[in-house]
Structure 1
Amino acid sequence: MNRQIKQIFLVILDVLFINASIFIGYFVRFSWKIPSPYLTIYYRSFIPISIIMIICFSAFKLYKSVWRYASIDELISVILAVSLGTFLSFIFGQIAKPFIGNRLPISIYLIMWALTILMSGGIRFLRRIMASVEMVPSEVLKKSRRTLIVGAGDAGAIVVKEMKKHPELGFIPVAFVDDDEGKKGQIIHGVPIVGSRDDIEDIVTSKDIDEILIALPSASLEERQKIFKICSNTGCHLKTLPGIYELIDGKVSVNQIRDVEIEDLLGREPVELNIDEIAGYLENKVVLVTGGGGSIGSELCRQIVRFSPKKLLILDIYENGAYDLQMELNRKYPHIDKEVIIASIREKNRLEDIFSKYKIDVVFHAAAHKHVPLMEANPKEAIKNNVIGTLNLVECADKYNVKKFVQISTDKAVNPTNIMGATKRICEMIIQAIDKISNTEFVAVRFGNVLGSSGSVIPLFKKQIREGGPVTVTHPEINRYFMTIPEAAQLVIQAGAMAKGGEIFILDMGKPVKIVDLARDLIRLSGLEPDKDIKIVFTGLRPGEKLYEELLMDEEGIQNTKHKKIFIGKPGSYDFMELKENIIGLYNKLSCSDEEVFDSVEQLVPTYHRKKN
């Protein structure tokens, strides 16, 4: 039935309901014996009354609403339309008395008002009721998950309503839990509130729950993490609504339900940025990001475009990641001028051409070889890329009057025990040395591991879990600092805004996390039990690997900044020409054996003590 026919059908039904309600009013008023004068009044006035009522219904758009989705708003519209129509019908009766003999009794108008709301509203809400009890295909029911909702507030109520409206989504809401004792025993959209967070494990067992949805977008991150931990012990698949700070418009929708990730268990409160300070050095500037297709580099690009640079240059030696990022940014930020440059930072002539052509204002240097075991086996490549590449970049930045240069460093540069950390420490030394003789502001930003970055343990663990295990951890006591990729990128950009030149900014990484605990959490988030469904195997420390990473060297000390998550290490004192001469000497050693290369690095970096496994 098309839309117009449905509207005509509803109009006919409304006319019948209006007139039936008048007759029922007559029967009630006159005990089934209607005096003939009142019938005459009805015959003379039913057409005008019907027209008045239909016009009022149309004015309140009762013929345009989609009634399978009717809610309290549509009910209010029905009541207002009938009320206005009844009032205008009464006014018509008063005015038309000389022509129709009299108006209807007031009691008839009141009965007509009540019965028309009941009948015209009822027929409309019948469609809503039918939609809510429509048969769900058996194959959908088989795939549906019995779901426990944590949080019986507005967000929980909204998602349960949507789950019931759209059974094809595969959720069967079974029960709520909420820490408000006053809510226990109440029912929301037919779903009972059966307990608090302390009861979750018992409820999962007693009600055969498959999935838990944490619907607490307004809760603090710390509070959400506590609940995640409780729920992760149940073996259920966990889903969540984003925190309120993640919601673009602050509104909750069933479409925003997502899996609980390890970032939810380890993440921290969102970063507070000084937008004006950042915009001051990025807005309308030409910005170069080296390693722009990598984990940190690509996130830096995503953050930078928000501040309307004049041009964003994405430099990488690997085309695939850079191309994917370019397509993403073209789609989301078509108005921003951006360009991908395929180049190696090892080739200084190519860098000279780039800096000369684009008149770059700001550089974020994220290009580096970073995998510790691989670089232990290939130390010459680590030196060529990390050290020589950085030296090439800083000299070009100095020569072509770049305003600000931000070097991405790592906690592995502190008292390094591996060649990757040692090369990153040399990069920090280069930054601090050249800053003393250059008009460019050179700074380094040091932080630990980022969750989910290429080559980190998270993607490896997920892959091992998908394959049925075992999950491999090098040592039961090994721990690492972690932060999310967006948090790291935002703090790097903020540190760049605060830089005056020569600083090593150290990001607050929070508390270190045991890698074995991380593995267990990931296994539980996959709905499996550690050491039962998925084994954890300890393989021994890899070449150059530490049990505990550090963020600060003893001689650096630490200074607070105006940002609570950013600190400054005491600047080192290095002569650039002397350091460059030593680096050239190191480069000349690359034709020698790996052992001689390791020895030369130890001479250049006093804090480097090679760990042999």
Structure 2
Amino acid sequence: MKSENSASRNHGVETHAPTGAIRKLKKRAVLHPTFIIRNWQDLVRLLFTGMALAIAFSIAFAVRFDWTLDAEQMQHLLASLPLVVVVQTVILACSGVHLASLRGVSFQDLGRLVWATSLGSAVTWCVAVNAGVFVPRSVWLVDWVFAIILLGGIRAVAREAIEQWHKHLATEKSRTLVVGTCPTSEAIVRTLRATSQSRCEIIGMVARTEDSHLVGHYAGPVRVLGSVDDLHSLIVSHSIDEVLLVSGSLGGKQIRAIEQICNEAIVAVRVIPVLDTLIDGNVAIQPRALAIEDLLKRESVQIDLNAISCFIGGSTIVVTGAAGSIGSEICRQLVALNATRLVILDRNESGLFWLERELRRLGSDATVIPCIGDITDSRRMDAILAEYRPHILFHAAAYKHVPLMEDHPGEAIKNISLASARLAELASEYGVKTFVMVSTDKAVNPTSVMGTCKRFAEMFVQAIDASSTTMFLTVRFGNVLDSAGSVVPVFREQILRGGPITVTHPEIERFFMTIPEASRLVIQAAAMGHGGEVFVLDMGEPVKIVELAQDMIRLSGLEQGRDIEIDFTGLRPGEKLFEELFTANERLFDTAHSKIQSAETVAVDLDHLRWSLDQLELAAHDTPDAIRSLLRHLLKDCQASQDVKALSVSASAAGPKVPELVATEVDQLPRLRLFTPALTDTTGDPPRSETFVRISSERPQVA
């Protein structure tokens, strides 16, 4: 009964197990009439296909007999022609050759046509032999060649006719250059030329500087007229109205230079999204306006997949701050890299909810476990580490807004310094293999509460490494582009409101990196670490914030001074004009990755840091002014301790002899106060006595 129903559903076609070429035909067309002919256009295409096959077979017969057919040969032709046309048309129809769009003829379409024609000729020959129809053997070969030529030629002519018709219908089209050479450039140009809705008349292509050898060649239907270096002269000589950039094929500096050339020539610039595949030529390409991300685009980051796979393979990984900009992207990258078990930790329940859904939607085999918790809650962190026993911990949770932390220094201490230190100690206690702390360039020579708290966290993570089996690493980088609350979305919101755009100082500069780039490099650095390192990411050249604002105004189609203003509000408390990526005491070393350096420095004594953090915890609920003063004092204290330790290491390396100080200079040297844990009483009050150390005013170089 089940087989009868099946047969009835298949319109009476027997469902024997197909083999060889017939299996391919059934897999593609399922021998279903409604698949072969979906609409009247398909019927017309099939009729033209049959006509072309009839002409090809007739020509083959004529060629075989030197274009002179007697009555007997004509009889053989007329007897075999219906069989050839019907069988070959059915084979071609079942292969779906007629379903391909005429606008997007490609080598794949040609290959499918050759395969289907070959199969059709073979099947027709078998049928003719079995039916006793006489056809000379040479006719089959000549017929195969002419069938391919005619069928391919009809499609090519039809495509050209469609393009010319659309070109004729268009009343106004902008003369356009396409800049950027990549594997999909040719397909993009073909689609733009074949789309009636496109208002672009593609005049030619412009190669990247590194692809200048392509100049003079043809990329599909258009010629490569020159390289980016020739862009201005090409715009003038060809009366260009618009320049389209192929997204992903150009770097930020090149895009900025191209935009400047186009602005000088009063030519519009837009971006074409990269297409990996054009499906039947029906994919609509919608060029978009230039975005700030295009101007700041950096070279794509290459990572060592083998090293990372070995690093994360089979591991349980915890990511704190998982719902944040960097934390969520680290999670996405880990899932893409086939992490086994991922514990996503954050106190933002909504963010965690959506992140979990997104990670599961990525289709990875990773087990994703959402955990709601606050990193300042030590008992909750203890419970999570005890339950999941992670091998790797990425610590990305922290407050990040400098002005807010200036007003709430106690919260910064609890959320950044104390939480990081306690999480590090818990990681050591539970035997976490690798602990990676995400840090910031604001921790270098900090002038803000946020930067100072991060610096304490950095020092603690580095100090605890020496006494733990856990490998503790720090990864330090600058601003990430378009993260929540960063300068780009703030400027975007101010532009939408009509301005003004507020910039604190005309000379202020910042390093920028995209979120995916930073996250990949954090994971790469973690895989490279051996413990105790402070990795510094290559941030490229700093960007002036006022220039960033001007770029965003221009990309919005506005003009500064006429449509929108830029107001300078003055530096905010704790804000610096220029950020730094490493301190004077740190020596940078290259690593195996070109975009990652290692900053080597002498670690602060761990007990000394623990005492400092105890003092900060006791003062966390004092007045903001008192907390800020204590932070500055304790940081200088730790830095002095670090300097003395560095001097000791340097002296030990040089030998037992210590340089003597000149007696007349002793009283003029700075007095650096060093607190020792032994001098602290059990109540946690400040030490009852102080040790004063006098050092040379010329800071020794750390070896």
Q: By the TM > 0.5 criterion, same fold?
A: yes
Deviation at 1:11, TM superposition (A): 6.5
1:573-592 equivalences in 2 (<5 Å): 573-592=603-622
Q: 1:594 to 1:338 in 2, by over 3 A?
A: same
Equivalent position of 2:83 in the other structure: 51
Q: Which of 234, 241, 247 is the matching residue for 1:209?
A: 241
1:164-313 equivalences in 2 (<5 Å): 164-168=193-197, 171-178=200-207, 197=228, 200=231, 207=239, 209-210=241-242, 212-214=244-246, 217=249, 226-227=257-258, 230-231=261-262, 234=266, 236-240=268-272, 260-313=290-343
Q: Which of 548, 552, 556 is the matching residue for 2:586?
A: 556
Mapped contact 2:424–2:461 kept (Cα < 8 A): yes
Q: Which of 362, 377, 396 is the matching residue for 2:407?
A: 377
What is the identity, as a one-letter code, of the residue corresponding to 1:209?
D
Equivalent position of 1:601 in the other structure: 631
Equivalent position of 2:192 in the other structure: 163
What is the identity, as a one-letter code, of the residue corresponding to 2:471?
E
Mapped contact 2:181–2:246 kept (Cα < 8 A): no
Partner Cα distance (1:380, 1:88) in 2:
84
Partner Cα distance (1:46, 1:318) in 2:
79
Partner Cα distance (2:348, 2:627) in 1:
27
Deviation readout 1:514-564 (Å, 9 max, x if unpaired): 112222233333344444544332221111110111112222233333333
What is the identity, as a one-letter code, of the residue corresponding to 2:395?
H
Q: Does the alignment pair 1:333 with 2:371?
A: no
| TM-score with structure 2 setting the length | 0.71
Partner Cα distance (1:346, 1:77) in 2:
63
Task: Give unpaired runs (5+ residues) of structure 2.
Answer: 1-32, 640-703
Q: Which of 40, 51, 72 is the matching residue for 1:13?
A: 51
What is the identity, as a one-letter code, of the residue corresponding to 2:205?
F
Deviation at 1:579, TM superposition (A): 2.2
Partner Cα distance (2:82, 2:436) in 1:
76
Deviation at 1:304, TM superposition (A): 1.8
Partner Cα distance (2:418, 2:145) in 1:
86
Partner Cα distance (1:366, 1:411) in 2:
14
Deviation at 1:418, TM superposition (A): 0.8
User: Among the aligned pairs, what percent are the same residue?
Assistant: 36
Deviation at 1:90, TM superposition (A): 12
Deviation at 1:60, TM superposition (A): 5.7
Mapped contact 2:494–2:500 kept (Cα < 8 A): yes
Partner Cα distance (1:338, 1:202) in 2:
55
What is the identity, as a one-letter code, of the residue corresponding to 2:96?
K
Mapped contact 2:240–2:267 kept (Cα < 8 A): no
What is the identity, as a one-letter code, of the residue corresponding to 1:43?
Q
Equivalent position of 1:315 in the other structure: 345
Classify the secondary structure of the residue corresponding to 2:427. helix
Q: 1:489 to 1:258 in 2, by over 3 A?
A: farther
Partner Cα distance (1:354, 1:82) in 2:
65
Deviation at 1:589, TM superposition (A): 1.6
Deviation at 1:48, TM superposition (A): 1.4
Equivalent position of 1:393 in the other structure: 423
Deviation at 1:342, TM superposition (A): 1.3
Mapped contact 1:232–1:525 kept (Cα < 8 A): no
Equivalent position of 2:178 in the other structure: 149
Q: Does the alignment pair 1:450 with 2:488?
A: no
Q: Which of 375, 378, 381 is the matching residue for 1:345?
A: 375
Partner Cα distance (2:537, 2:382) in 1:
32
Deviation at 1:291, TM superposition (A): 0.6
Q: Which of 441, 450, 455 is the matching residue for 2:471?
A: 441
Equivalent position of 1:571 in the other structure: 601
Deviation readout 1:345-391 (Å, 9 max, x if unpaired): 11111111111111122111111111111111111111121122112
Mapped contact 1:235–1:524 kept (Cα < 8 A): no
Equivalent position of 1:42 in the other structure: 74
Equivalent position of 2:445 in the other structure: 415
Deviation at 1:399, TM superposition (A): 2.0
Deviation at 1:431, TM superposition (A): 1.0
Q: 1:331 to 1:153 in 2, by over 3 A?
A: closer
Partner Cα distance (1:112, 1:570) in 2:
76
Classify the secondary structure of the residue corresponding to 1:340. strand
Mapped contact 1:150–1:156 kept (Cα < 8 A): no
Mapped contact 2:204–2:223 kept (Cα < 8 A): yes
Q: Does the alignment pair 1:489 with 2:519?
A: yes
Mapped contact 2:204–2:224 kept (Cα < 8 A): yes
Q: 1:555 to 1:333 in 2, by over 3 A?
A: same
Equivalent position of 2:549 in the other structure: 519
Mapped contact 1:21–1:116 kept (Cα < 8 A): no
Deviation at 1:235, TM superposition (A): 6.3
Deviation at 1:114, TM superposition (A): 9.6
Deviation at 1:506, TM superposition (A): 1.8
Partner Cα distance (1:433, 1:90) in 2:
83
Q: Which of 456, 459, 483 is the matching residue for 1:426?
A: 456
Partner Cα distance (1:308, 1:119) in 2:
50
Equivalent position of 2:657 in the other structure: none
Mapped contact 2:587–2:601 kept (Cα < 8 A): no
Mapped contact 2:50–2:86 kept (Cα < 8 A): no
Mapped contact 1:362–1:405 kept (Cα < 8 A): yes
Partner Cα distance (1:556, 1:19) in 2:
81
Mapped contact 1:213–1:238 kept (Cα < 8 A): yes
Task: Give unpaired runs (5+ residues) of structure 1.
Answer: none
Higher RCO structure, 1 or 2 (CA under 8 Å, sep 6+): 1
Classify the secondary structure of the residue corresponding to 1:429. helix
What is the identity, as a one-letter code, of the residue corresponding to 1:382?
A
Mapped contact 1:369–1:386 kept (Cα < 8 A): yes
Q: Does the alignment pair 1:461 with 2:491?
A: yes
What is the identity, as a one-letter code, of the residue corresponding to 2:244?
I
Question: Over aligned residues, Cα RMSD in angstroms?
Answer: 4.6
Mapped contact 2:503–2:569 kept (Cα < 8 A): yes
Mapped contact 2:590–2:597 kept (Cα < 8 A): yes
Classify the secondary structure of the residue corresponding to 2:332. helix
Q: 1:225 to 1:437 in 2, by over 3 A?
A: same
Q: Which of 96, 100, 115 is the matching residue for 1:64?
A: 96
Classify the secondary structure of the residue corresponding to 1:164. helix
Mapped contact 1:366–1:408 kept (Cα < 8 A): yes
Q: 1:603 to 1:115 in 2, by over 3 A?
A: closer
Classify the secondary structure of the residue corresponding to 1:591. coil
Deviation readout 1:44-71 (Å, 9 max, x if unpaired): 4312144235545555669731254345
